[in-house]
Amino acid sequence: VQRTLVLVKPDGVARGHVGEVLRRIEAKGYTLVALELREADEALLAEHYAEHAGKPFVQPLIDFMRSGPVVAAVVEGQRVIEGFRSLAGTTDPTTAAPGTIRGDLARDWGRKVIENVVHGSDSPESAAREIALWFPAL
Ligand code: GTP
Ligand code: MG
């Protein structure tokens, strides 16, 4: 079975959507392997978003991710990487489908960075890298 790294981003935590995101993960039949509320620092986030280094939204993204606590989770299940991204919906909440986490819960606030409630790893390689980064003891 696969594992993926899920983050409930600061907008999701601040707006009280932690329970709803975890409910959808559990309702789908996935298993929580690790779960933690934490404040991510600049170094962790720069590493987490290394693939976006140099893009104009990367610093606003890191600042947003430091604006409050996040919930980090390792989630396990058959094809969970693809499956969680399907639960999450597309990146831009304006067009994310209703029924998805972002389609239902995220708003376009017109800010410098897209605030879209959750993160999910996008490939087995990313998942392995991100899980090692956020949960080195696993
Ligand atoms: P994550 O699961 O958070 O990684 O989202 P994603 O895989 O759907 O998107 P991606 O990895 O491409 O981008 C990471 C995050 O950067 C997104 O979730 C957004 O918060 C932000 N972002 C991505 N693309 C843009 C963009 O074109 N403009 C702005 N302002 N923010 C962006
Ligand atoms: Mg991504």
CATH of the domain at 12: 3.30.70.141
The answer to whether 70 and 7 are in contact (CB under 8 A) is yes
Domain count, the chain: 1
Residue nearest to atom 2 of ligand 1 (CA): 119
Query: Ligand 1 pocket check: which of 4, 6, 8, 57 to mutate, most ligand atoms within 8 Å of Cβ?
Result: 57
pLDDT, averaged across the chain: 97
- Residue 94 — pLDDT band, cuts 50, 70, 90? very high
Average pLDDT score over residue span 78-106: 98
Domain range for 80: 2-134
Q: Would you state the pLDDT for residue 137?
A: 95
Q: Is residue 31 within 8 Å of 80, Cβ to Cβ?
A: no
Mean local confidence (pLDDT), 53-62: 95
Neighbour-count burial for 112-136, b at 16+ CB within 10 Å, e otherwise:
ebbbbbbbbbeeeebbebbbeebbe
Q: Are 39 and 62 in contact (CB under 8 A)?
A: no
